[in-house]
Amino acid sequence: MADGATADALYREARSRCQQGLIAEGIDLVRRALALDPTQARFHTLLGMALSSAGRHAEALESFEQAIALGAADAHGSRADALVALGRLAEAVESFDRALAQDPSSVADWCNRGAALVDLSRFAEAADSFARATALAPDFAEAHYNHGNALAKLARHVDAIASYDRALALKPDYVDALNNRANALNQLGRLPEALAGVEAALAVAPEHNGALVTRSVLLRKLRRPADAIASCERALVLKPDDTDALTVRADLLTDLERFAEAISTLDRIIALKPEDVAAKWNKSLICLGLGRFQEGWPLYEHRWAGAKGLVPRGYAQPRWNGGRVDGTLMIWGEQGLGDEILHARHLGRENDAVVRQAAFLGERHEAAGLDQAADRMMPAHQRLETGNLARNARLRLIVQRKLSVLDRRAQFLLQRPLLA
């Protein structure tokens, strides 16, 4: 193009190059156009779109903001896309809102807004956003699929299945929809239907990693461990570092009492995702069951880091270190009533003074304050010996059953060498 070309001619040529996939050339041409006339909002918008295509999202964002400052209201959606790429999701949603205020019929903006809201865990808003998209474009299978995903996150599994069905009616070989529909059926306990659905997904795409993992989960629940392991191993051949597949594998190996392999698998997960507290907690349970207490107890503390959904108490008093207590020992329940009863037994009746000092503090409801929880403290011997006689008989039966199970487990472990 001649050096004397007008800014508008440069812009048209830049747009043509971008449409041909010649992004770098398009960027160069539109920059030349802007050098001649920086007041054209459409020039900035095109540059932003070209930079986004090149993965240069921070620069693209600057261009879209220049375009908006010059009056390009239609650039808000593109600005939002750049913010999503930069991980600035809350700002992106606000920008999508501004775009949709200008053009409420934009299916792309409703869908992209929904995706950003899912990433923000704002699932109800995401579902509404995808619902708007499906109303505008009822033949858009991807919108129905994503609507189903948002509904599944809200545990609205029946509604999610209906959305997946609409997506599949439009696109019968939609493998992700088949797989996620199977996951929703699994959540509803409809395991044979779920397995049939995931088999249909694998018939279309035999190497679909997610479907292989889903199949493993379902086969485990259907008590087909050998088939479940085989499906899991196929998934790991395709994607060796898939932590979802590794987690299912560890669960299956634990079920089969192949503890050394289970621990090795959990160690792989921890190496890949050091922040995965669930893997550390699951490893702790195996170690404790095998008598490897030095490993198990420190890992068991990860139940407070989110592995079990527990919230640490904010008490000022130090935690008990196992030594002698000259005062009151406060013990709170975290494992459920049966375990509280079982462990209360080990406080020992031979030192009644210590037992009478001990107190159980039950799980607090979210709405209850510390003072209300403290009012519910009761000495351990009273918790076990007062109240309805029939209830106490049932509690003793629970304790006896738990002890007999533990005794059998201890005998079993003694019959085989402990893992090193």
Q: Are 54 and 24 in contact (CB under 8 A)?
A: yes
The Cβ-side half-sphere exposure at 175, using a 13 Å CA radius, reads 14
Whether 334 is covered by a domain: the verdict is yes
CA nearest 347: which of 360, 336, 335?
360
C-alpha–C-alpha distance, residues 324 and 338, integer Å: 26
pLDDT recorded at residue 347: 62
What percent of the chain has pLDDT above 70? 79
The last residue of a domain, from among 44, 73, 103: 103
Whether 275 is covered by a domain: the verdict is no
Whether 308 is covered by a domain: the verdict is no
Q: What is the CATH number of the domain that holds 28?
A: 1.25.40.10
CA nearest 137: which of 102, 109, 173?
109
The last residue of a domain, from among 81, 103, 125: 103
Cβ contacts of 218-221, under 8 Å, gap ≥ 24: 218/182, 218/186, 218/191, 218/194, 219/195, 220/248, 220/251, 220/252, 220/255, 221/186, 221/191
Whether 339 is covered by a domain: the verdict is yes
Higher pLDDT, 419 or 250: 250
- Highest averaged pLDDT of the listed ranges 73-77, 116-120, 352-356, 381-385: 116-120
- Say what the pTM is: 0.75
Q: What type of residue is 59?
A: E
Whether 251 is covered by a domain: the verdict is no
**Which residue's structure tokens are 């903006």?**
109
pLDDT bin (cut points 50, 70, 90) of residue 305 is confident
Whether 125 is covered by a domain: the verdict is no
Please state the domain count of the chain: 2
The last residue of a domain, from among 73, 103, 133: 103
Whether 32 is covered by a domain: the verdict is yes
Range of the domain at 40: 1-103
DSSP string, 284-344: HHHHHHTT-HHHHHHHHGGGGGTTS-------SSPPP-SS--SSPPEEE--S-HHHHHHHH
Helix and strand element counts for the chain (H, E): 23, 3
The bridge status of strand 359-361 relative to strand 378-379 is antiparallel
Whether 358 is covered by a domain: the verdict is yes
In this prediction, residues 111-116 reach a mean pLDDT of: 96
pLDDT bin (cut points 50, 70, 90) of residue 253 is very high
Q: Taking 70 as the threshold, does the pLDDT of residue 236 lie above it?
A: yes
